[in-house]
Structure 1
C-alpha cells in the first residue's frame, strides 16, 4: 500500500505523528511551498526565508534518513497555488492508496485537510499533533463548565501532567508562579549573552534571492539573515541559551534596553513553532538546569510557564473558540494602525525601537509586543483584527493558532476578558520603569499635558474614561477608575483634549503634531 504523507511548513519534526509506523519503502513524503501560504498575509520577508529554508533543509535531512521526499518549490513552473492543488498533482504522480497527515495548526488549513477525502476519493488519516501536552479534547474537558478560563489553573494541570518542577503533587518552592520576581529592569552588561548567528548557506541564499525577487512589496529587511534553519543549529542555539542566558532570564524577562535586541531571551520560539525543537524536551532541560544548581527557580519556572502554560493555553483557546474569534471586538475599536507600524518612523522612542527591530529582525520579545506596540494600539483604539494581522505578518514565530489569542485576546482585549482578565494598558511610567527608552525620547514621560508630553500618558487616561461603561465593574480596573474619579473636571477635560489632539494628528498621518 503506497502512502502519501504531506508535511506542512510547521511540521518539521522527525517524530511527527504522520510518520509513526510508516515504512520508507512504500511512503512518499510531500513537502510544498505554495503561494497561498506565503501570501495570505504580507509576511515579513525574513519570516518567509526562515520557513522556506528550514523546509528545504528538513527535506534534505529526511532524504538522508532514507525517506522518499517529493519537494515542490515555490518557483517550480507547474506549481499549484494551494496545498489542495499540490495534493492533486502528487496523486497524479504517485497514485497513492491513502493519505496520512498530521492535523493542521490553523482553521483554514484544517478545512483543506478535511476536504481531501471527498475531493480525491482516497482514505485520509488525519492524526493528532502529539507535539503538544494537551490534546484538543483535553483542553475542552478542562474548560467545560468553568465560569472563566484562567491560564494559571490550566498551567497547574500541565505541571502535574508533565511532572515538571514538582515534588509529588506540590510545586517545588511552594509556589506555582514566580512572575512577581521576574520584573527587574536591566542595566547594560558587557557580559550579556549573545545568541549564535548562522550565516546563510547555499540553500538559504537561494531562498533569499527568491524572496527578494518575489516579495519585494512585503515588509521587513532581508539584510543580515542569521536564523538557524536546521535542527542541529537550532539545538546549538538552545544549548547556548541554557548555558548562558537562562540563569538571568527570569530576573530580566520583562526588561527592555535601547539597541539590545535579545537580552536574556532564548530566541527559540521560531524553532519550537516550526518543529525544529521539541518544546517538552526544552522544558525538561530547563528543569535539569535548576536541579543541577545552574539556574534559579524563578528563571526556570518562568520559562516553563511560557511553553506549557501560555503556549498550550493559546492553542486550546484558538481551537475551542473557532473561526469567528478573529472578528471579536469587545471595545468597539476601529482605528487603523499608523503607517509607521511598518517603518518605525516615529518620535516615540519606545515604539521606534520595538518596531525598528521588528522590521530588521522579525523578532521582538513579549514585553515589547504586549506593553509597547500592543499597548499603544489598544490605547489609540486600533481595530483588533488589524492588529492581529500586523503581528501575524511581522514576527518570524507567528502562526495564527498561537498569535491570534495572544494578540486579539490578551493584548487587545477584543474577546472581552476570555484570555486576559483586564486590558493590558499602561501610561509611560511602566515603560520608563522597565526600560531606558524614555531617556532617549523627545517626549517627557513625566508630563501628561503639553507639546512635549509623552503620548502614552493622556492616551491611558482617555482610554479609562471612554470605556468606563464597559470596564468600571472589572475588579482589576478598580484602582485606575478611583484615581480618575479623584481628578478635577478641569484636569480630566485637559487630559482628554490632549489625547484627542494626538489622535487627530495620528488620523492625519502624523506622529503627534500638538
Structure 2
C-alpha cells in the first residue's frame, strides 16, 4: 500500500514481549513528546504453540511491569490486555487499531526474533496505511550482517571459531590478543558428575506481586488445558528482580558452575545453573553486561577461570551463534530432516510416565518449572529423540512449547542442529548420540532406575544401550563417513551377527511399546 506522510500524529513504537529493554533500538531515537508505545497481549502469540502456563505468565507479567517502568520514565504507553474488549487477537490487528486510535503517522519496531513474525511485518509494509521502520536489534553482540559475513565462504560453520571472534570483539577474558589462561576453552575441567552429599543453593524467591497474581489467575483460567503448573512459579518479572537473580548467581553459583555444569541430580532441578536465560531472552538483562559481571568475578578472584569461561561461552558464543545460524538457514531449518526421522512424539514426553528415571525426571522438572538444564535437554531428551528417530518438527514444537526461555531463534537450532542432526551436520560436527553409560556417569538417576544401565539387551536393559546401536545401524549410509563416528562404526562391524541382532531386536521391542501423544498436543 502506498502510504502518506501528511499525518501529524505521533509515531507508534511497537514493543514485543521479548523486547523489554529500556535501550531497545525502537525507542533509541524517539522522545516521549511525539511517541506512543504500543504493547499488546494477543491470543496468536500465546497459542501459536500451546505454551507452558509458566511461560505465558512470565511474559505477560514482565510486559505489564515493563509498561509501568516506561510510564514512570515519561512514555505514553497504550497497553492492550488479553482480556480487553475488542482485542483483535493478533499483533497485525492491534497495530492497525492503534494507528487509527492515535492517528499515528508511522510505525517503528525492533526486528523480531522469530521468522514468522518477520514475515508478518514484511506484509505490514504493504498493508499498513503508514510507513513502517524495522530496526536492527542492537542487544546482540554480533549484528546479523556481521554473522553473514563471517559465514560467507566457510566450508564449516563451527561455533568454536565464531566464539573466538566474539572474545576478540568484546575483549572478554582477553590479554591483548591472547585468551586469559592461555586457552580459549576450559571444557575439559567442566565435566564432573554428581558427588554424593553435595549441597546446592536454593534460588532466591520472587514472591508474586498483585500484577503477577492477576496474570497467574488469568492464565490458570484461560489456559487451563496447557501443559505445566504454576504452583512453583518463581521467575523474575522485573529488571530489579532479574538483577537480584544475577547477583545470587555470581555469589553463590558461579564459583561451582563450571565443574558441575553437566551434572544431573535427581530432585535438584537447578544444581549450580544461572537460571538467567529467561530474563536475558525477555530483555530484562543485557547479555554483554551479564558477561562483564561474570568476568569481574574471575578478575577479583571469586570464581575460577573454567567456570567464568564456560558461562561466558554460553552467552557470547553459543547464544549468538545459534541466532546467526537460525536467520542464515531459515526457513529451511524448520523442515530439515536429514536422517528421515518420522516416529511421533511419545505420550510420556507430556506425562512423564516412563520407567526411565532420567526421562521422567527431565519431564517432571520441565512440567514443574518450565525449565531443565542444558544437559537434561541435550543428552537425555534430545539424545532419546535422536536415537528413537522422533520427527524433528514434533520435537522442536515440544521444546518451543515447554520452556520459559524458548523462542524459535534459540530453540530450533539447538533442536534441529545440535540435538537431532536434522541439518546434516551444518551446525554440529557429529550427532550427539550416547548410550546409558553417559547418563550413568553424569547423573545419579541410574542407581534407582527400573532398568539396569550395565545390561546391554533384553527387557531389563537400559533402553539407551540398544537404541544407540540401532540408531547407528539404521543411519549407517548417511553417517559412516563422519570421521568422529569412525570408532563406533568400527566397533559395530567387529560385533558378531548374533550380538548385532540382539541390539536391533531389543531396540525394536522397546520402540514398539511407545504410545504416541494425542493429536493437537502442540498446535491444536
Give me the TM-score of the superposition, normalised by structure 2.
0.96
Determine helix, strand or coil for the equivalent of 1:96.
Answer: coil
Aligned-residue CA RMSD (Å)? 1.1
User: Contact between 2:454 and 2:462, CA under 8 Å: does it hold in 1?
Assistant: yes
Matched, 1:84 2:92: yes
Matches within 5 A, 1:136-215: 136-189=144-197, 191-215=199-223
User: Contact between 2:15 and 2:38, CA under 8 Å: does it hold in 1?
Assistant: yes
Matched, 1:237 2:228: no
Determine helix, strand or coil for the equivalent of 2:51.
Answer: coil
Determine helix, strand or coil for the equivalent of 2:514.
Answer: helix
Determine helix, strand or coil for the equivalent of 1:109.
Answer: helix
Distance 1:21 1:380 in 2: 51
Give ranges in structure 1 of 5+ residues lacking alignment. Answer: 510-514
Q: 1:175 to 1:80 in 2, by over 3 A?
A: same
Deviation at 1:341, TM superposition (A): 0.3
Matches within 5 A, 1:166-315: 166-189=174-197, 191-315=199-323
Deviation at 1:36, TM superposition (A): 0.5
Distance 1:427 1:384 in 2: 20
Matched, 1:346 2:354: yes
Distance 2:472 2:281 in 1: 36
Counterpart residue number, 2:467? 459
Counterpart residue number, 1:22? 30
Distance 1:341 1:503 in 2: 14
Matched, 1:70 2:78: yes
Deviation at 1:191, TM superposition (A): 4.3
Instruction: Name segments (4+ residues, structure 1) moved above 4 Å.
Output: 188-191
Matched, 1:408 2:416: yes
Distance 1:179 1:191 in 2: 23
Deviation at 1:116, TM superposition (A): 2.2
Q: Deviations over 1:77-109 (max 9, x none)?
A: 100111110001101110111111111111111
Counterpart residue number, 2:521? none
Distance 1:113 1:296 in 2: 45
Give ranges in structure 2 of 5+ residues lacking alignment. Answer: 1-7, 518-524
Deviation at 1:452, TM superposition (A): 1.0
Counterpart residue number, 2:456? 448
Distance 1:426 1:446 in 2: 14
Distance 1:188 1:360 in 2: 25
Matched, 1:117 2:88: no
Give me the TM-score of the superposition, normalised by structure 1.
0.98
Deviation at 1:321, TM superposition (A): 0.7
User: Contact between 1:164 and 1:284, CA under 8 Å: does it hold in 2?
Assistant: yes
Counterpart residue number, 2:377? 369
Counterpart residue number, 1:512? none
Distance 1:506 1:108 in 2: 32
Distance 2:337 2:232 in 1: 38
User: Contact between 2:346 and 2:516, CA under 8 Å: does it hold in 1?
Assistant: no
